Amino acid sequence: MTATQDALDALNPAQRHAVTVRGGPLLILAGPGSGKTRVIAHRIAYLVRTLAVPPWRILAVTFTNKAAREMRERVERLLEEDARAITLGTFHGICARMLRRDGQQIGIPSGFVIYDRDDQLSLVRRIEKELHVDSKRFAPGAVLSAISAAKNHRLDAAGYAGAVGSYFEEVVARVFEQYDHALTESAAVDFDDLLGRTLELFQRAPAVCDRYAERYLHLLIDEFQDTNVVQYELARALTSKHGNITAVGDPDQSIYSWRAADVRNLAHFRSDFPGTEVVLLEQNYRSSARILRVADAVIRRAEGRPEKQLWTANADGERVVEHSARSGEEEAMYIASEVQRLTRGGRAPADCAVMYRTNAQSRALEEAFLYLGIPYRLVGGTRFYDRREVRDLLAYLRLVQNEMDSVAFQRIVNVPPRGIGDRTLEHVLAVAAETGLAPLAVAAKLARGDAALPALPALRADSRLALDGFVRLVDSLRERRERFSVADLLDEILRDVGYRQYLQDSDEAHATTRWENVEELLEVARQYQDLEGSRSLASFLEEVALVADVDDPAVATPNAVTLTTLHAAKGLEFPVVFMPGLEEGLLPHVRSLDDPQQLEEERRIAYVGMTRAKERLYLLHAGSRFYQGMQRRSIRSRFLRDVPSAELTASGTGAATAGAVPLSARERRAAIAGRQVRDVPSEPAFAAGERVEHAQFGRGVVVSCTLVPGDQQVTVAFEAAGVRKLLLSFAPLKAERRPEPTRAAVPDDHEPPEDEAGAG
């Protein structure tokens, strides 16, 4: 028996059918936990090994770099060396490579930079200031979202301006025009442009489109329900020569309409690709039977969904718990206490996840987890690549790569401080706007006192000298760009600008942690050592720009509970899942209540959350909740009312049996605010130099411990987390456990009593 046949025999009948379709349009409707990644990987292997399709003629598309890495690992296990020739990546990453190669045909330079959301927001803020737009009334984020939505519906600035119907849209149109102009002037594109400009390339240069369509004989797309209009048209263009497309998706998991994802693409697929073969993957390998029955009770009421029934051979397992709390704070304490009970019973914290509808819900959860000393990781907190020191250094690298990059220039022209103030920067930008020159070029001319520049108020001599120093620094780094790898170039930047000392001077309390982030960036950069000079830099910057939130490797905390929104939980799975806030106005969200389509998406969001659970599922709601600035009464979600009562069990023993009774809201707030319920000691609980332990930050040494009103503030230098200032009532801080003293040892009389060391 061949290895290929062995691999096929390991699949269930539906999976085997999906893998062995020989060609043409194939639509695989894959329920959660049904093994779709496995099916795609085996289908690629089948095309290569059985149908003799050359690996370089296969294009596989995923939606995150993380998913792409997992897919490539699976394919490599099946195809070994042949897997390297397959083109596999995200839509954005693949389009970026196409634009690097062929974008010049529509005016995009090969060295373009990619602006992420932070860069885009900086640019919109600058444009609003130039246009005298009130950024409080017209929030940059809202304006940017409108521009993004327009691009995803294939509207350019002129097309958008021709269809305005409100004053807000009129303001967006004015910003849109300047925004696109600024991108062009900076030789930059945003994420939407990576897709839209590639489609434009295919339409304006048919020969380029034909070349890619002829090269890739098979196109496979994962998470097809998350495609937008532009991605769908790209798929049609790439299969225009042969029609060999495999689309894998699940309409029940379409939850990204706010990102312009269009679930209707699954319905359009059958009509746009005649002769489509449809395969249903309905066997779930992830969840217990009880969890699936509860999730099915919610999703089966969705309008217009395909007829499919998720099932599992897994056992019934634990009952699904419904817990009703009096308040959002009490709900959070119940979750933390239940996690504590489960971990005492042998569960690891990393087995547990809390999934909520809005980011605001994390506040009470974080407080409860900190209070009980339970380690957690917050998905959606400050991402590694969004941290100040990381963005500073990336801006240096971007300006070295592309001297036209105005956003990078603005960020680092005075970082570290070199005497270039806001007025000087405004002067440079005003000249750049009037002349069409890049800010770096303007800075060079101003430093030389170029008489040909517009007649603006003259700069002071010290400002010209500071600009000259910055220009010389960038020019020197640009000269070294061809000779140095990106890691070596980063070392040069750190040395030339004295960045470590700058961190120490500007943020002494967090300098150690920030420098650790710099070292982590250097470690990432070293992965590009095998590329030469500018190729190393260009590849590094492109990969960093294309990293998504869920791909960020630096946010993880070992063995910690995951706190995440339901949207960010897509693609994840955990043995234990808590879903708080199952209330009308929260899940479903208040914005969806008057919109049937949005209400259906809220139903799918609930379904996605439920199907992340493998063994235990907790569905929670509160009688009242502090939300949008006030305490509000809550009503149990309609999605819970859809579940037969026989499938749910009310909680009542969890936290109590563990001896960890949830605090009342008053007690919790008092403790967290520092107004401790018990008496505060009159003497500091810790002395400088004392070794301590924290449940989340690990081991450290006390720098100082001072009494503050109603509390004690402890400054600790942690081995892994740097210097932190903690309130003792809020921090689970304890004296480090020492070995029992031997006869030769002298007991340490200074160690604080257990009740003081563990005051929070």
Residue 757: pLDDT over 50 = no
pLDDT tens digits, residue range 376-419?
888 866 667 778 898 999 999 999 999 999 999 999 999 999 98
Residues 729, 734: Cα–Cα separation, whole Å: 12
- Strands 561-565, 691-694: pairing is unpaired
For the segment 686-713, the average pLDDT, to the nearest whole number, is 77
List 82, 102, 200, 222, catalytic entry? 222
> What DSSP letter does each residue of 658-679 carry, written as one string?
TT-PPPPHHHHHHHHHT--SSP
List 15, 36, 564, 602, catalytic entry? 36
Residue 6: pLDDT over 70 = no
Residue 628: the pLDDT is 57
Residues 287, 118: Cα–Cα separation, whole Å: 38
Residue with tokens 């496995």: 38
Residue with tokens 């939407």: 192
Using DSSP, state whether 278 is helix, strand or coil: strand
Residue 654: pLDDT over 70 = no
Band (pLDDT 50/70/90 cuts) for residue 677 is: very low
List 37, 358, 504, 598, catalytic entry? 37
Please tell me the least confidently modeled range out of 19-28, 54-63, 378-387, 570-579: 378-387
List 82, 128, 223, 615, catalytic entry? 223
Q: Is 343 a catalytic residue?
A: no
Residue 606, CA distances (Å) to 292, 361, 633 in order: 13, 16, 21
Say if CB 698 and CB 707 are below 8 A apart. no
The chain-wide mean pLDDT, for the chain, equals 84
Residue 684: the pLDDT is 79
pLDDT tens digits, residue range 426-462?
888 888 888 888 899 989 888 887 767 766 667 788 8
- What totals of helices (H) and strands (E) does the chain contain, helices first? 30, 21
Please tell me the least confidently modeled range out of 124-128, 209-213, 538-542, 704-708: 704-708
What count of other Cβ atoms lies within 10 Å of the Cβ of residue 670?
16
Residue 657: the pLDDT is 31
Residue 451: the pLDDT is 66
Residues 448, 334: Cα–Cα separation, whole Å: 66
Please tell me the least confidently modeled range out of 254-268, 534-548, 719-733, 738-752: 738-752
Residue with tokens 């139903």: 603
Q: Is 129 a catalytic residue?
A: no
What does the H/E/C string look like for 7-20?
HHHCCCHHHHHHHH
List 178, 239, 253, 410, catalytic entry? 253
Residue 711: the pLDDT is 62
pLDDT tens digits, residue range 518-576?
888 888 888 787 776 667 788 888 888 887 544 554 444 468 999 999 998 888 999 99
Residues 219, 214: Cα–Cα separation, whole Å: 11
Say if CB 704 and CB 509 are below 8 A apart. no
Band (pLDDT 50/70/90 cuts) for residue 373 is: confident
- Strands 733-735, 691-694: pairing is antiparallel
Q: Is 253 a catalytic residue?
A: yes
Share of the chain above pLDDT 90, in %: 50
Residue 553: the pLDDT is 44
For 193, the token pair is 């442009």
Please tell me the least confidently modeled range out of 112-121, 460-469, 511-520, 658-667: 658-667
Residue 758: pLDDT over 70 = no
Using DSSP, state whether 649 is helix, strand or coil: strand
Using DSSP, state whether 448 is helix, strand or coil: helix
Residues 470, 244: Cα–Cα separation, whole Å: 54
DSSP state for residue 709 in the 8-state scheme: T
Residue 253: the pLDDT is 87
Please tell me the least confidently modeled range out of 166-175, 521-530, 547-556, 629-638: 547-556
Residue 337: pLDDT over 90 = yes
Identify the residue with better confidence: 256 or 743: 256
Q: Is 223 a catalytic residue?
A: yes
Residue 270: pLDDT over 80 = yes
For the segment 239-261, the average pLDDT, to the nearest whole number, is 88
> What DSSP letter does each residue of 318-330 carry, written as one string?
SPEEEEEEEEHHH
Dmax of the chain from CA atoms? 88
Q: Is 612 a catalytic residue?
A: yes
Residues 127, 151: Cα–Cα separation, whole Å: 18
List 126, 612, 638, 724, catalytic entry? 612
Using DSSP, state whether 149 is helix, strand or coil: helix
Say if CB 71 and CB 165 are below 8 A apart. no
Residues 6+ apart with CB under 8 A from 271: none
Residue 755: the pLDDT is 30
Burial class from Cβ neighbours inside 10 Å (0-12, 13-18, 19+) for residue 667 reads middle
pLDDT tens digits, residue range 688-700?
878 888 877 778 8
* Interior angle at CA 366, CA 364 and CA 370, nearest 5: 120
Helix or strand run (H / E) with residue 258:
none
Residues 348, 375: Cα–Cα separation, whole Å: 11
Residue 627: pLDDT over 70 = no
pTM: 0.75
Residue 671: the pLDDT is 43
Residue 669: the pLDDT is 42
